Amino acid sequence: MNNLQSRWGDIMRFAHGLDELERTTALATSVASLEVALTALGIPKVSKQGFLNRFETSSLISRVKDAPTIAEIKAAVEARNRAVHGQPVPDPKQCVAHAKALFKTWCGLRRLYVTRETAGRLAMEFLASGAVTHVFLFGSLAVRGRKDPKDIDLLLYDDGELSSISRRYRGTVENWFLDEIFSDHSAVEAALRLGWLDYLVIHGKRFGHDKQYTQSVVRQQADSLFFVNIADAILKYDISKRKWTVDRPKIFLRLASIKEQLAIENIVSA
């Protein structure tokens, strides 16, 4: 999926560029990404309010760990404003410094969003809507002790309605139903756009039981071992306890055993 998270490599390359338009693009894209990040975190945009004003008036400043100083952030945003309005563009060295400050801010905001608590809130709304029957967490956030997880990865079981639309992880997902499920659907759409949230919907009663259906879902993944790779670190959300629990479906218990054997043979990573 082409998301804003994957664009930071290009942003830093443009920031190093000798071309003024590239450096302007680097700064403009950085600030635009931060605007989307605030939306994902539930900070509304009032009228023509810019990123800096939204950020300063929110309660996020004190919560963003390892972020640049507010003076560094202001300098970067002001450099962006001057550049896009035809005023002198920072030289490559200055532009790189500004881009790094904005990226560190972005990473700090991502750490605030990518948590099990956020994943739990999303799970509760999915389940409360009746659109899905079970919500599972997988990936780096599901593994205790994994440092700085980059996104929230959810596997959703349903009874066929949503899963008939999309069965691919990190692919083009129809998100029309988000308006009906989430009280703040704009925040969820922003998180998807950023690449901070990904999910896959599959038919819970057919996956692992219906051969044709299961093979169809597997074939649509970019990684043919996708379900094997996630099997040993998958958690289920218990809405009654409001917590993530180690309660994997039998299909994933079997796949976890297969992964263990494949790891012994050095076919997959342990």
User: DSSP of 240-270, one letter per residue?
Assistant: TTTEEE----HHHHHHHHHHHHHHHTTSS--
- pLDDT digits over 215-270, tens only? 999 998 989 999 999 999 999 999 999 999 999 999 999 999 999 999 888 887 87
Q: What is the pLDDT of residue 169?
A: 66
Look at residue 57 and tell me if it is in a domain.
yes
Look at residue 269 and tell me if it is in a domain.
no
- Dist CA 141 CA 149 (whole Å): 6
- Dist CA 165 CA 133 (whole Å): 16
Q: What is the pLDDT of residue 48?
A: 81
Are both 258 and 223 inside the same structural domain?
yes
Which of 56-70, 136-150, 174-188 has maximum average pLDDT?
A: 136-150
Are both 216 and 155 inside the same structural domain?
yes
Look at residue 221 and tell me if it is in a domain.
yes
Contact status, residue 48 vs residue 55, Cβ threshold 8 Å? no
Look at residue 270 and tell me if it is in a domain.
no
Domain termination residue (choose one: 67, 95, 113): 113
Region 54-80 average pLDDT: 90
Q: What is the pLDDT of residue 176?
A: 65
Residue 1 has pLDDT above 60, yes or no: no
Residue 266 has which token pair? 């050095």
- Which residue, 61, 151, 145, 155, is CA-closest to 115? 151
CA contacts within 13 A on the Cβ side of 50: 8
H-only helix segments in 114-235: 116-129, 178-181, 185-194, 211-219, 226-230
Residue 59 has pLDDT above 60, yes or no: yes
Show the domain range for 95. Answer: 4-113
Q: What is the pLDDT of residue 97?
A: 98
Are both 186 and 67 inside the same structural domain?
no
Residue 173 has pLDDT above 80, yes or no: no
Q: How many C-beta neighbours within 10 Å does residue 198 have?
A: 19
Domain termination residue (choose one: 61, 81, 113): 113
- Dist CA 150 CA 60 (whole Å): 19
- pLDDT digits over 176-212, tens only? 667 778 877 899 999 999 999 999 999 999 999 999 9
- pLDDT digits over 96-105, tens only? 999 999 999 9
- pLDDT digits over 11-37, tens only? 999 999 999 999 999 999 999 999 999
Residue % of the chain over a pLDDT of 90: 71
Number of structural domains (the chain) is 2
